[in-house]
Structure 1
Amino acid sequence: MPLVIGYLLGSILPAYFLTRMMLGIDIRSVGSGHAGTTNVYREVGLWPAVVTAFYDSTKGILAIQIAEAMGYPDYISFLSGYFAVIGHVFPFYLHFRGGKGAATTVGLLLFSLWNTWLTLPFPTLLTDLFFLLLIVSVLSWTTKKGDVVGIFVLPALSVLLTLRRVNDIWFIWLLIVTLMFINLKNILEEKLIELDEAGWRVFIRPTSFLLFVLGMTMEKGDFLLLTTVVFSVFFLADVVRLLSKRIHRFFHEELEFKIYRKDERKQISSISLFLLGVILSFLLFDKHIAFTAGCFLAFGDMAAKIIGASFGKRKLFDKTVEGTMVGLVIDLFIAYAISLSGLLDLSSALIGGLTATVCEILPLSIDDNVSVPLCSSLVMSLL
């Protein structure tokens, strides 16, 4: 019953009904085609947009409150709120084609965060907010695109809440994943991010985190053996590709799905160099330090590449100021998260993050996939 109530509350779209009453048209057929606040404001006016924003952002919370008043347990109440998101996106009377659900999801997320952070000490809250606002501020300055800001700050938020071991984290994760999906969909539709022909590799870079987790949990020798085998496969593929004209032509000209970038036509791929950097850092340094340096490489370097390629305007050596600034704040956030997890102290991790950023921007003769983990690991080890 509460799930049905949540769905029905969510399926009520003020954007659709107000536009029908005032203009006699379907809001989904004009402007951006979205049944949301921004499109209502542009096509209808201010006060209908205000009404739309208020109801869309609170109907999920209303569903939770109704379910709680009916005596249902927390997990049912939360699911009722999420069903309001489903109702907003798939209203039955509009052939299941409604809005995007962002406002309802954001309203639920803010409601959950308010209840969560009220349980934390005030200094803890301020520190968490500082690092999150640092990411938001720099990304807003460099991109001026809310969807792009979201795909970076939402994972950061989820990491903090997970490390804080908050209650009902599953529901917050569900909301964050939903918002991430909405943001990525908007980015792809509006082509907000520009990447090269093998740009998909940048987006899968975070999956290397699983490799670092293995480095933390496996015996050192076993992990190095596993990683060396994987490295050997990619390195051998690089050698064959560079020596054989037929295979080179296949990968770079005939194959539609591009595996290698244009700048890798005559050199070892960054995939092999990335694995080499991981092997060397885990071989030479403590696993906690190598894990931290790997996170700098996987996430900070990824953020710098995405923002630099899509929004970079000011050159800094062969990089951009915009990409470097975003890479820096991501590295600083990683250092903060690492300190919360107890792997390293904050000062060592922060200096390691700064070192990683410097190595990424300097035009060194060694590739940054190798220099970033080695240099940052060395500095953190010395500290």
Structure 2
Amino acid sequence: MSILVVDDNPMNVMVVEEMLKRSGYEEVECAQSAEEMLRILRGTPEEGGAPPRSIDLILLDLMMPAVDGIEACRMLQSDERLRDIPVIIVTAIGDSRKLAEALDAGANDYVTKPINKIELLARIRSALRLKRELDWHKERDLRLREELNLARQVQEAVFPAGVDEEAYRIRSYFRASEELAGDLYAWHVLDSHRVMIAVMDAMGHGISSSLISMFTASVLKEAMHAQIRPERIVGEANRRLMQLRYGNELVQYYSTGICAWIDLREGTVECVNAGHPPGLVVRRGGRRVERLGATCPPVGVFENLAIRSEKVRLEPGDTIYLYTDGLMDLFPGDAEEKTNALIERLARSGEDEEALEELLVLGSLDKRPDDRCLVRVDVKGVAETA
């Protein structure tokens, strides 16, 4: 472990340095001012000088000319790279106000002159023990951030790319509130006129909801390849979520969602809404809006789920919006007022991509971050046989 001794008195530096080395601390650096201390800690690469030194502890004299120990502590705290180095103030004065000021400025402990060797070594051991624990936590946090970043990339890789078919076009807009998201969207293209789309929102935030989201995404992908009825897909998602077993029996994870089967050979959208905000069918030119409201409870709550679907006619020029409740938090009022405000905002946005993407970054009225997901389907045509 490396220790930096900072004192403007060369004799004091020599005594402390020798004391430390005789006690087994071989890596001892010395500085006679706060400026020299910072040069050692930061290095001087721009001048072709020494690189920064890795220091585990600083013994800092309180009374120094130019920059005293209190101001030196503030300088250390202002540098993100240096603020976690523990500092023990060394002082010959017994002014409790000065010592309190030093501790408030970032010092961790203090010893008084003349230095008691046993006391000094005990305080050094204590400070270094805390430093090792802090380094361990920082390393663990770094690994966790790296793993979360990888998990986020994997999660985003699951999301399908936009689709532009003969009879429809699908675009998605998504933003996670944290490293990982509980929202998801998925679709399975059957042909140029038929597609299955689902948007779901797992309860909560962070790792737990993202795991439920990833599990649900895998279930949806499998179910969409085997089924073309939204009731069966939602039923399968509910069955699989109910099979999960949680360590805390008082916690029940569930998801709201909307699953839509768009068949432009028939000119219809058939939808199951499992306790989710209503899907929207905006008629050509925005002249009218139809809501695809809830038709059953959320998935993952009840073993036996009474599922029913709702079917709506579609025409060329219609637009379908499926979204999660993070977009609702942008607007004031109750659920009905929020939905009306969102409808108005979407109608104004029209084909403006930037206006739709702006919805993802606007601040929520309640100041609480939430995932935001929006899927837009433009109906370009309906088969003549419809």
TM-score clears 0.5 = no
Q: TM-score by structure 2 length?
A: 0.23
**More helix per residue:** 1
Give the structure with higher Rg (CA).
2
**More strand per residue:** 2
Q: TM-score by structure 1 length?
A: 0.23
